[in-house]
């Protein structure tokens, strides 16, 4: 071993400044997250309105929040006509769940309050207590057994644009869906995902009667994928057909990620 091996490692002034900046930014980000998480937890417990902005997007989780308009519209489609004995399940779409929960809490004490669940991989959303269910897409049936066949209405936003992800999400939806017999309608279902997933989506949800709708979901910070809303029902918000895509994504190429 040479004498040089025992010499302490030194950094240049530029490298030290960069390292200090890195740690300062990391500490600031951690402090900001802890503050936001505390606020979200307090609001969730008290029933105060929440915004999805309390939770920063995590690209590693393929998180791209819906715009407030889209999240509210989708939540209203689930809630419209719901009764207290119904169960509404949101799968991998926390921004919709936040709006859904706000609408239920703001409706007043005499309004019907269906049971709500959020199935999500991001543990930050455990601030919603028993309404939060940890969900790993790679284990589509690893869920509390009491949820099997519980759902009257569901929305799902699979996190990635590929057949494997779409198929696993569909397996979970089928497992959650409340059994029905003709002529009763199947559970109300909304799936939001990329336009290029249309052949797969309409195939894996064929038993639900899912079709492409005229509604185009939008995103808080924009997203390059052309995005479709699929559903097994029509209403004021959409009809069967193709959406007229906005300029936001009309000429863009997909990047293989989703919104929430």
Express each pLDDT in 189-205 by its tens digit. Answer: 999 999 999 999 999 99
| Band of pLDDT at residue 152, cut at 50, 70 and 90 | very high
What's the pLDDT at 251? 40
Per-residue pLDDT at 17 exceeds 60: yes
Higher pLDDT, 42 or 236: 236
| Band of pLDDT at residue 65, cut at 50, 70 and 90 | very high
**Structure tokens that stand for 167 in this block:** 């198929």
Task: Write down the pTM of the prediction.
Answer: 0.82
Per-residue pLDDT at 186 exceeds 80: yes
| Band of pLDDT at residue 20, cut at 50, 70 and 90 | confident
What's the pLDDT at 225? 80
Q: What is the mean pLDDT of residues 218-226?
A: 85
Distances (CA, A) of 48 to 23, 43, 101: 34, 5, 10
**Structure tokens that stand for 3 in this block:** 């004498």
What's the pLDDT at 11? 67
């Amino acid at each position: 071993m040479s004498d040089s091996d025992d010499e302490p490692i030194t950094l240049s002034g530029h490298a030290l400044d960069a390292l200090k900046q890195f740690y300062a930014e990391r500490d600031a980000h951690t402090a900001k997250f802890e503050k936001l998480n505390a606020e979200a937890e307090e609001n969730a417990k008290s029933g105060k309105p929440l915004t999805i902005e309390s939770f920063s997007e995590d690209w590693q989780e393929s998180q791209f929040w819906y715009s407030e308009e889209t999240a509210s519209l989708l939540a209203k489609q689930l809630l419209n006509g719901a009764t207290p004995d119904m169960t509404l399940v949101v799968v991998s779409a926390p921004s919709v769940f936040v709006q859904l929960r706000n609408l239920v809490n703001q409706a007043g004490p005499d309004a019907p309050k269906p049971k709500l669940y959020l199935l999500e991989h991001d543990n930050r959303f455990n601030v919603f207590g028993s309404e939060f269910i940890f969900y790993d897409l790679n284990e589509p049936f690893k869920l509390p057994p009491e949820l099997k066949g519980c759902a009257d209405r569901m929305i799902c936003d699979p996190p990635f644009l590929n057949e494997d992800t779409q198929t696993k999400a569909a397996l979970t939806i089928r497992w959650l869906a409340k059994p029905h017999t003709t002529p009763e309608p199947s559970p109300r279902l909304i799936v939001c995902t990329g336009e290029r997933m249309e052949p797969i989506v309409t195939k894996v949800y064929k038993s639900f009667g899912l079709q492409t709708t005229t509604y185009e979901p939008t995103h808080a910070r924009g997203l390059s994928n052309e995005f479709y809303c699929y559903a097994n029902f029509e209403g004021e918000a959409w009809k069967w057909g193709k959406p007229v895509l906005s300029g936001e994504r009309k000429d863009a190429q997909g990047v293989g990620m989703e919104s929430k």
